[in-house]
Structure 1
Amino acid sequence: MSRGGTAAGRAAAGTGALVLAAALTACSGGDVGRRAEPPSAPGGRDGAGTSATPGLPYHPFDGGAESPRGPVLAVKIANTERALPQSGVRDADIVYVGQVEGGETRLMAVYSSKLPERVGPVRSARISDLSILAQYGRPAFAFSGVQSKMKKDIRQAPSYDVSQENGGSAYFRAGPKPIPYNLYADPRDLLELAPEATGPRDIGFRFGPAPAGGEPTASFTAKWPSATMGFTWSAEEKRWLASFGGRPDVAAEGGRLGGATVVVQYAKTTRSKFHDSLGHYTPLIRTTGTGRALVLRDGKGYDARWSRPSEGQGTTFTTADGKPMTFAPGQVWVVLVSEGSPVIP
């Protein structure tokens, strides 16, 4: 990892995000696929609770005091050069970046406070996604599919399967790119398939004024075996502007992607029991337990620790002296990198 230094379809996406309440009002009716089956574990795994967020005066995902608290939707999105630019990422509350086969990366965008007009390119899910999502209660989970051996895990996960297999006309192909880089989905239609998807709950994030300390940081580059993403502080926009492979990461709707807070979470990356058709094993990213993190906000980097006792519990972040590590209100990126050197398990 390098830290410091300076950094240098239905066609284009629509007019930006709509608040969730308005979006859901507008999506009544329509030809959609069958309703998602409820999760087989009613209480969630490892004690996953309800969607209530007592004691938090702000949205638990983005820190917004007035942010609408709609149902939670998570979408898997391609994150390779051929997939860019992506649609809908800029309107997510939280964006996870995680390693997949071959040392490449894929995104999982989490929505609650607002919805884009479309999202994609939608790609397939991975086993580590289910562990991450368990802390969200019972969200709707959108993806293009999974290998047959993983379908049992999908059925048992405490989430609503609104994948392409179940999604009907919520999914569509658009634009000049070939399969699999032309699959998109309408988030409103996806949520219609999961009317009982839970709302946002406390997942451990805390928002507020920056803690004392921190090291002035102009940029940071996250590295995986076959991919890099950079984040450069913009004092003008008061957020970290994303790059992919050394080039500006531009949204399909226009403007740079990036977040008010970037969490670089170092996690043990091992080999799962799954692999692709070429024999490349799927990484298993361990997001339970404890580890170190780097939190970027307000042009500074803060050394931090993360802790998540079980899959049903949220992930908390603390400063070096054990106090809560507060995030800046706005979009949060959680960048999952291997503890130690980049590795293909």
Structure 2
Amino acid sequence: MAAQVRPAPYRRGARFAVLAVAALLLAGCQSAPVPAPDTEVPVRPAAGSAPSSVSFAPLRGTAADASELAHPSLAVKIDNHEEARPHLALNRTDLVFEELVEGGITRYVAVWHSDVPDEVGPVRSIRPMDPDIASPFGGIIAYSGGQEQFVEMMMATPLLNLVFDYDDTGLFSRADDRPGPHDVVLRAGEAVSRNAALAPPPMQFSYGTADPLVAPALAAAPTSRIDLVFSDARFPAWEWDGAASTWLRSQEGSPDLEASGERVGATNIVTLRVGIDWSYGEVPKTVMIGSGEAWVSAAGRTAHGTWAKDAAGSPITLTADDGSPLRLAPGNTWVELVPGEGSATFTP
């Protein structure tokens, strides 16, 4: 039977709030409070290509020693319940995908490759959209378990599955200082080293300079703050820190701090407007195969465009309104999978 799609029930009447025309006009007469763009950055590989001899980290677009990239990526399903905070090593990720789950809360698919920490977590269970999110990276996926049908979906991917419920190798443990079930921790470095023969991930996005949206044709508007609404229970925000060239994250009005005490930050915020498939009862499935609106925020600017993904194993393609590629700044990226009934507001 065909999948039924219905609106998310958590926040009725919410719409995507895009940049006002006035803000776009402002972009033409006001420069963003960001450093001058790089002028001598070498050409980086395009999305979908394998790591090259130029030695760019495939999931960050940053220069790196090739020998340090010769291992698989590690994708981990990360809890985002209030009792799961603070998280471990989110600032060392290459990519993080935030997705809606049941009850209106969110969870993450966090991906480490260029900088794999000793431990990550808290680790939680898989959801039906996760195979479509994680498949393009290859390598390893780690999670605590899940409904049998969702575990079978993930097991059917080419990824190596590491599952807490089935683990007898000591890769997972429970942290004494955290409440269950928000206490599962993965020995990330050990998980990667044991499986170092697996292939590194291919490039997922295209990268430009430190200010990749500066071209006038992109019509990127200055952005000081991004407010996202997944539901009444989850409304993260990002503030641009020009001095640090970083977006700083808040959750439900409070600064988002990881276990190290550092504010969670990112070089790029990619906001995708997505549909929700309700075929699995109360478990929402983010629809990842298809296309929709996209916003790329980097270096204190935001450009509008579209996203497209044609198969589970394909990367997400980002295209600007003028038809050119939407490129990211070299660095870590958060991909915000905001439901169509949610909202995204970009403040100049």
- Asked if these proteins are the same fold (TM beyond 0.5), I'd say yes
Instruction: Give the conservation status (yes or no) of the 8 Å contact 1:51–1:198.
Output: no
Counterpart residue number, 1:285: 286
Query: Which of residues 223, 226, 232 in structure 2 aligns to 1:220?
Result: 226
Aligned-partner SS, 2:129: helix
Counterpart residue number, 1:259: 266
Instruction: Give the conservation status (yes or no) of the 8 Å contact 1:128–1:286.
Output: yes
Counterpart residue number, 1:24: none
Instruction: Give the conservation status (yes or no) of the 8 Å contact 1:142–1:190.
Output: no
**Do structure 1's residue 210 and structure 2's residue 217 form an aligned pair?**
no
Q: CA deviation at 1:254?
A: 2.0
TM-score, structure 1 length as denominator? 0.79
Aligned-partner SS, 1:162: strand
Map 1:80-229 → 2, pairs under 5 A: 80-136=81-137, 138-164=138-164, 165-166=166-167, 168-208=169-209, 209-211=211-213, 212=215, 213-225=219-231, 226-229=233-236
Q: CA deviation at 1:196?
A: 4.2
Structure 2: how far apart are the matches of 1:303 and 1:56?
A: 30
Unaligned runs of 5+ in 1: 6-49, 276-280
Query: Which of residues 58, 61, 85 in structure 1 aligns to 2:59?
Result: 61
CA root-mean-square deviation: 2.2
Aligned-partner SS, 1:326: coil
**Do structure 1's residue 271 and structure 2's residue 278 form an aligned pair?**
yes
Map 1:33-72 → 2, pairs under 5 A: 52-54=50-52, 58-66=56-64, 68-69=68-69, 70-72=71-73
Structure 2: how far apart are the matches of 1:218 and 1:53?
A: 33
Aligned-partner SS, 1:243: strand
Q: Equivalent pairs: percent with the same residue?
A: 28
Q: CA deviation at 1:4?
A: 7.7
Q: CA deviation at 1:189?
A: 2.1
TM-score, structure 2 length as denominator? 0.78
Counterpart residue number, 1:243: 250
Structure 1: how far apart are the matches of 2:17 and 2:178?
A: 33
Instruction: Give the conservation status (yes or no) of the 8 Å contact 1:77–1:120.
Output: yes
2:228 partner amino acid? A
Counterpart residue number, 1:15: none
Structure 2: how far apart are the matches of 1:157 and 1:80?
A: 27
Counterpart residue number, 1:47: none
Instruction: Give the conservation status (yes or no) of the 8 Å contact 2:208–2:330.
Output: yes
Q: CA deviation at 1:127?
A: 1.3
Instruction: Give the conservation status (yes or no) of the 8 Å contact 2:205–2:328.
Output: no
Query: Which of residues 215, 219, 233 in structure 1 aligns to 2:240?
Result: 233
Aligned-partner SS, 1:154: helix
Counterpart residue number, 2:29: none
Q: In the superposition, relative to structure 1, how do residues 116 and 55 fare at CA in structure 2: closer, same or farther (>3 Å)?
A: closer
Unaligned runs of 5+ in 2: 1-15, 21-47, 344-348
2:122 partner amino acid? P
Render the CA deviation track for 1:178-225: whole Å, top value 9, x for unaligned.
Answer: 211111111122224544432020223333342323111111111112
Corresponding pairs, count? 291
Q: CA deviation at 1:118?
A: 1.0
